[in-house]
Amino acid sequence: MSVARVAPAPALWRIRILAGAALTASLVVVVGVATVAAAGPSVWFVAGVCAFALALLVLAALRGFEGFGIALVVASMLPLPTVTLLGTAQFPFASFAVVALLVSAWWVARVRGLTPSAPCVMPYLVLIGVAAVSLAASWLFWDARVPTGAERGYGHRSIVYQLTGLYLLAFPLVAFAAGAFSSRLIRVDRLLAWVCVALTGLTVYALSGWIQHPGNPIDLFNTGDRVKFDYQWAAFLAVASSALLLNARSRRLRIIAVALLALAAFTVSVEYVLSAWLGVAIGIAFVVWLRFGWRGVVLMAAAITAAALVVEPTVSAIVSQRASSTDVDRLKIWQSALIVWSKSPLIGVGPANLASYMETYSLFPLGLVLQGYQQAHNIFLEILAEEGVAGIALLVAFVWLILRSLVRWHPESTPDAVARAGAGGVLITAAVIASLGGGFIPTIASAGYNALPYV
C-alpha cells in the first residue's frame, strides 16, 4: 500500500494556496478561541497547543497536500475548543477536519489522474441506510411510554437531535474513506512520525497531571484524584510504539520505541483505567501475533500471568476496590440497554433515541439516569439498541473486513509493516475500550463528539 511520492502537477499550486488559506483561517480561529478560553495553569498547555498548530501550518505550507493532510490528521487529535451546533452536540476540530481531508484528497487524486477508492465500506454504507430506516420507524412506532418532550430530562424526540446522531454515526465511514483516499498521496512514514509526536505530547500532558499530584493510583481512585485527561492517547501510543519496536530494523528506532512504550505504559498505569489496560494488552497481543504468530501470544500471556502472580496482593486490592465501586453498576446499565433493544430487535429504536428510552426502561432511578446512566457504557450495545441486530452485524462485518485486509496484506517496507501492525492494534484497542465505555463509534448517548478525534 506504500506509494512513492508523485511530483505535483503545475496546476496544483492553486490547490496549495486554497488549502493553506483554509487551514490558516481555521487555525487562527482555533488559536484565538483557545487563547481567550485559557485560564490559570492551562494557559501554558494552550500555548503549547497553539505553537504545535503553527508548526503544522508551516508543514502544510512546505509539503503541499501531504503537509496539509498530515496537519489535518494531527490537529484533529489536539484538545482544541469545541463548537456547539444546533444545540444538540459539541463538535471538535476533527468533525470538520475529516470532511476537509476527504474532499481535498478526492480532488487532488482526480487532478493527478488517480482513481480514489475506499475498500470494505459497503457494510457501513448499508448500516447508515439501516439507521435512516430506523430513524423513520421511530416516528411511526414511537413507544407511548417514552416521553417525547425535552422537559423531562436528557433524552427527547427531536428530528434535529436524531439527525445529529445519524451524522455522528456516519463519521467512521467518512474518516475511513478519507484515509483510503489519502493513502495514495501521503507517505506513510511521515504520517506515522507526526502521529507519534502528537500521541507523545498528549501522553506527557496526561502524565503531568499525576506528576503535580503524585500518589498510588489505587489511593487516588478512592479520593477522586485520578488523572482526568483522555486515557486513550496513552493506550494508543503503547500499541503504536510496540508496532514500531517489533517491526523496525534500525537500532535507533527500536530505542525510541522502547522509550515511548515505557512512557505510555507508565502513564496508562497511573491513569488507572482498567478498560485501557485490557485494550492495550489485547492490542499488543495482535501486534505480537502478526510478528511471531500464536507462539508469541502464548509467551506474552504467560509473562502477564507470571507478573500478576508476583504482584498478587496488588491485583487482589484492585479487584476488591473496583468490585465495591460504581463500576459494577455497568452490569445493570448493560441489562437496561438490552431491555431497550428488545423494544425493536431488528432495526433498533433509532439513532440518538437510546437516551430517551433509557429514561423509561433503565433499571436505575431517573435521577441517576440523568447523571450519566442513560449511556450504555458499551458502544456496541448502544449500536445494538439504536440500530438493532442488523446494525451491529453490519458494524462487525465492516471491522472484520478491515482487519482481514490488514492481516492478508504483506508489506514490502518497514514503514508499511509498522503501519499495518499499528493500525490493526489501535483499531482493536479502541474497540476493547469502547466495549467497556465510549468511543470508537460516535453516538449522542455516549457524548459521541469525544470519539471523533480518534475515529
Q: Is the pLDDT of residue 297 over 70?
A: yes
Task: Tell me which of 42 and 224 has the higher pLDDT.
Answer: 224
pLDDT at res. 182 = 87
Strands (DSSP E) contained in 162-269 are none
Categorize the per-residue pLDDT at 8 as very low, low, confident or very high, splitting at 50, 70 and 90: very low
CA–CA separation, 269 vs 68, rounded Å?
A: 35
Enumerate the domain spans of the chain.
12-111, 119-455
Task: Tell me which of 34 and 374 has the higher pLDDT.
Answer: 374
Residues 6+ away with beta carbon under 8 Å from 214: none
pLDDT in tens, 211-270: 877 877 777 777 766 666 678 889 999 999 999 999 988 899 999 999 999 999 999 888
3-state SS assignment for residue 425:
helix
pLDDT at res. 44 = 52
pTM (2 decimals)?
Answer: 0.82
Residues 6+ away with beta carbon under 8 Å from 147: 156, 356, 359, 360
Average confidence (pLDDT) over 427-442: 85
Buried b (16+ CB within 10 A) or exposed e, 295-334: ebeeebeeeeeeeeeeeeeeeeebeeeeeeeeeeebeebe
**With DSSP H G I counted as helix, E B as strand and the rest as coil, what are the percentages for the chain, rounded to 5?**
75, 0, 25
CA–CA separation, 238 vs 264, rounded Å?
A: 5
pLDDT in tens, 315-366: 788 778 777 777 777 888 899 999 999 999 999 999 988 888 888 888 887 7
Least confident of 34-43, 207-216, 323-332, 412-421: 34-43
pLDDT at res. 286 = 96
Give how far Cα 101 sits from Cα of 124, 304, 365, 449, Å.
Answer: 19, 40, 44, 18
Categorize the per-residue pLDDT at 401 as very low, low, confident or very high, splitting at 50, 70 and 90: very high
Task: Tell me which of 135 and 437 has the higher pLDDT.
Answer: 135
Average confidence (pLDDT) over 417-433: 92
pLDDT at res. 111 = 82
pLDDT at res. 441 = 78
HSE of 17 in the Cβ direction (CA atoms, 13 Å)? 5
Q: What is the DSSP letter of 150?
A: T
Residues 6+ away with beta carbon under 8 Å from 267: 203, 206, 207, 210, 227, 234
* Mean pLDDT across the chain: 80
pLDDT at res. 210 = 82
3-state SS assignment for residue 90:
strand
3-state SS assignment for residue 89:
strand
Burial class (CB in 10 A: 0-12, 13-18, 19+), 404: exposed
